[in-house]
Chains A and B, each alone.
Chain A
Amino acid sequence: MALLEVEDLRVAFGNSTAVDGVSFTVEEGKIVGLVGESGCGKSVTSLAVMGLLPKGRGPKRSKQPVQVAAAEPAGGVVKAAVAAPQAVPATGGRSRGGGADVSGRAVFDGTDLLTLTPSAMRRRRGKDIAMVFQDPLSSLNPVVPVGRQITEVLERHRGLKGAKANQEAANLLDRVGIPDPTRRLKEYPHQLSGGMRQRVLIAIAVACAPRLLIADEPTTALDVTIQAQILELLKDLVDHEGTALLMITHDLGVVAGMCDSVNVLYSGRVVESAPVRELFARPTHPYTIGLLGSIPKLDLPIHEPLTPIRGSIADVIRWRDGCAFAPRCDRVAEACVEGEPALVGSLHAHRCVLAEEIA
């Protein structure tokens, strides 16, 4: 059985759906990528698994949206559907107000995390599952020495205190490649460089030898040279400890460099998933093909234009009405908006009615 099995995960903020039925699995000790453009629901998915979303007041209607038979008359359906886009707020950040309504399953080692009580979840967070966030400066407490920010998690989950905890914290800093760890323990986040801060966050995350590590764009806030070092460090740690890693990124280069398998997310749903080599060799979903086409390649002549995907993620129709990518897809056909396209295949799965023709 897989270490983490996410099944039909849905997250809504009020009336807007951020994650719309995501399913994927993470096998013990593997590195799994979650890719997709900004706003497609990567962070919300990971926060839902971690139980870190603000609590909602419960859905207004039934939990599982009723499947609507999309039997609109044919002619010009695409246009009509586009004219009624789903409300997708353009605010990238976390809103401070309304909570999230989460449904589906996130089975970790046999337990559905979404059914755990808050205190039971707190006993697992930081111990069995840990997370590394995107912005290392804002993710560390500015008024607490970094040493304390490490020892508090050792104290909580491993019962280490005082000198023992300090010693272990120094060991951890040493392991993530921070020189002179005993001195660094007493320093504050603003006294460290960006790369070092991210190393501290990684040290905190691996402090209790978690079985699953989730890294949400761990390098986007860093210099390019530092990025490679941090990725190398992450790969090293998980390889060494046999930790599974869920790597969230919008950088296909990162995926190619370190992941075993990858899930491509579009508008809150997985549209293609495959082992990494397979995905790069035979991308099947037009969105994945578009993503691969919009990566600059060093070996292309300079005048060869990149082919960006037209439109934006805000041009979207509801999955239950048809393919959400239809408004931006070059191959769109009428079949695409006649109800929800199913996820087809197991090892290499895709959610596109024309996949057979494309492949």
Chain B
Amino acid sequence: MLRYTVKRLLQLAVALLGLTLLLFAWFKALPGGPENMLLPENATDQQREALRASLGLDEPIWAQYADFVGRAVRLDFGSSLSSGRPIATELADRLPATIELSLAAMLIAVGLGIPLGYLAAKRRGTWLDFAAVSGSLLGTCIPIFFLAAMLKVVFAQELGLLPTTFRLSAGSTYTEVTGLRVFDGLITGEFDVAWDAVVHLVLPAIALSSIPLAVIVRITRASVLDVVGEDYVRTADAKGLKPSVIRGRHVMRNAMLPIATIIGLLLGSLFAGAVLTESVFSFGGIGSFVYQATTERDYPALMGFILVIAVFYVVINLLVDLSYGLLDPRVRVRS
């Protein structure tokens, strides 16, 4: 397991290095050079010179790259062109909201998707299977933006069951610890805040969970169908074990292997979905920040975003790989 972990960490370092190279190349390839993109159009030549010098654009290319990596490591992405605040601060302010939303969506997707997929496989060919499969097909083809808007109109605006926007009700006071408000509310004992945060999370999380839920239902169904035909499940049956033991220890423990991989990939892709969901519900996360940065061509902000998301993605994949090693003893030895 140790060798496996070290190997994965090395792979992670290589992946991140490749990423900085790509981003650096992109930065250099911006039309008219970076300084054009970083300065307003009516900037003077003096301003340009000053910027070029401060960015080190007159240095040799390797020195520029080293500088770029160095600043990235220190989380120094410069300032946002639109707000003027340091990008690292902007991201740090908004990241917890997106993480909270993504985790909530994933919780829904996993909590519903795995049991549903299991039932669909067990009752293969029945109406339940049919409903689960066609439902998940629907889930993957409804655009998130549309689903989010529909949910908001029906459950928040028409029925008034849930709040339409934001992460907490107006005027509520809240002690920030991690920025994950449900979690913070629970650990500080502000249960009313935690509950308020949950209520605000429900609709956006449901909207965001639609695609991962659909994918998890289908992959679970396929994986369970695969595993129940395996010889070792027949052996478990031949031992006369209770159905619950066969299901947990023999079917699901094996069926989880592909499901775990997919969950990791989905978590990464949730950030993309979060951009749309957050803008519908004015959920102050990183998604709305990116939306704004894109429309205003705020390149430094975008670059910081990409780097942070990429690090997240890579770290999540590392976690998935490690959990895979825990789930499957064969992986530990083989690698």
Q: B residues within 8 Å of A by Cβ?
A: 225, 229-232, 234-242, 245, 249-250, 253-254, 257, 327-330, 333
Contact = CB atoms under 8 A, between A and B. Distances in A.
A141 B250 contact: yes
A156 B239 contact: yes
A351 to B, nearest CB: 31
Contact of A125 (B240, B245, B333): B240
Given A133-B234, A139-B232, A144-B250, A126 B239 contact: yes
B225 A96 contact: yes
Given A138-B231, A142-B329, A152 B254 contact: no
A280 interface: no
A143 B229 contact: no
A282 interface: no
Contact of A152 (B231, B249, B328): B249
Q: List the 7 closest A-B pairs by CB distance, nearest first.
A: A125-B240, A126-B240, A126-B239, A138-B231, A188-B329, A141-B232, A139-B231
B238 A141 contact: no
Given A124-B240, A152-B245, A152-B249, A140 B235 contact: yes
Nearest to A51: B237
A125 B232 contact: no
Nearest to A191: B333
Interface in A75-115: 94, 96
12 contacts: A94-B229, A126-B240, A131-B238, A133-B234, A138-B231, A141-B232, A141-B249, A142-B232, A143-B257, A153-B240, A156-B240, A156-B245
Contacts of B237: 52, 125
A144 B238 contact: no
Contacts of A168: none
Nearest to A124: B240
A35 B92 CA distance: 72
Contacts of A135: 231
Interface residues of A, number: 33
Nearest to A47: B234
A142 B231 contact: no
Q: Among the interface residues B241, B254, B257, which one has the most CB atoms of the partner chain A within 10 A? A: B241
A230 to B, nearest CB: 17
A140 B232 contact: yes
B239 A204 contact: yes
Given A126-B238, A139-B235, A157-B240, A144 B229 contact: no
A50 interface: yes
Contacts of A130: 238-239
A153 B235 CA distance: 11
B239 A125 contact: yes
Given A138-B230, A139-B231, 8 more contacts: A52-B237, A122-B241, A130-B238, A142-B328, A143-B253, A143-B327, A144-B249, A188-B329
Contacts of A123: 240
B253 to A, nearest CB: 5
Nearest to A137: B231
Contacts of B245: 152, 156
A32 to B, nearest CB: 19
A319 B327 CA distance: 51
Greatest chain A CB density within 10 A among B236, B240, B249, B328 is at: B240
Nearest to B234: A52
Nearest to B254: A143
